[in-house]
Amino acid sequence: MNRIVRLFFHSMAVGFLAGCLPSPMQSSVGPVPTVQSVVPQPAFRPTPPVAVQNPWKPDAAPRNWRHIVLHHTASSAGSVESIHEAHIARGWDGIGYHFLIGNGNGMGDGEIQSTYRWREQVHGAHAKSPNNEYNEHGIGICLIGNFEETTPSDAQMASVKRLVGVLKYEYQLTDAQVVAHRDVKATACPGKNFPIGEISRSSVFPVLAGQFGTYFTEQPTAFQIVTVERSNLR
Ligand SMILES: [Zn+2]
């Protein structure tokens, strides 16, 4: 039985890498299939280049990031597309954040999407301050939800802590450089129930985070980031 379970997870991984859904576990009666009859033995393939494995990795040279700023949408639902539309309507040049984390309404619960601002390493439009320090040098992460009224879901907490942990490691940021929007502007964002302290202390094991992006693909079914490209927005 252990062997079948292992095969199942192996086929999930192969299916993910091939860009298709995994096959359901076989339930037919009969002899336990051998490795050869269930999964064709692939020829040895070297690991593809990181750029292919990590489509969310920035295309541009890294910006001089000095902060991570956390936000909420103050709404019960949202997606990259809906927030992009709302920010365009305000006269901005598109969605102001670099990352969004869904709550199951408009995006998957705990799903992370990066935006073109991240891909292109351009400044944010999410945390205005007198010298614009936090828009110029702050990575904007927004969680869907209103945390004046509720708390982030368990899946959102797991995702935001992993994302913040990787970004801190990658840009050598301290706990103090991870801030809530309210820390830099007179606003309630991201809500009184948002656990900024717990999130700012997030860290990941350095070996896992050592190569930007590969950390995510080691557990593709558990943690995946999709980039919504500028061309897919109106
Ligand atoms: Zn905010």
219-232 confidence digits (pLDDT tens): 333 345 555 666 66
Q: Give 3 Cα–ligand 1 centroid separation in angstroms.
A: 49
**What residue ranges define each of the domains in the chain, with the CATH number in brackets?**
2-45 (no CATH), 67-232 (3.40.80.10)
Least confident of 24-33, 179-188, 209-218: 209-218
Distance 83 CA to ligand 1 centre (A): 13
Distance 224 CA to ligand 1 centre (A): 24
pLDDT at residue 209 tops 70: no
For 104-160, write each residue's pLDDT tens digit. 999 999 988 888 898 889 999 999 999 999 999 999 999 999 999 999 999 999 889
In the β-sheet with 112-115, what is the strand arrangement from edge to edge? 178-180, 67-72, 138-143, 99-101, 112-115, 225-228
Q: How far apart are CA 191 and CA 206, in angstroms?
A: 31
Per the listing, tokens 């252990």 go with 2
Give the whole-angstrom CA distance, residue 114 versus residue 100.
6
> According to the model, what pLDDT value does residue 28 have?
46
What pTM did the predictor assign?
0.70
- What's the Cα-to-Cα distance from 213 to each of 49, 90, 106, 139, 183, rounded to whole Å? 11, 33, 25, 16, 29
Q: What are 134's two structure tokens?
A: 């936090």
Q: What's the CA gap between 191 and 149, in Å, rounded?
A: 8
* Mean pLDDT score, 14-19: 37
**Most confidently modeled of 29-33, 150-154, 166-170?**
150-154
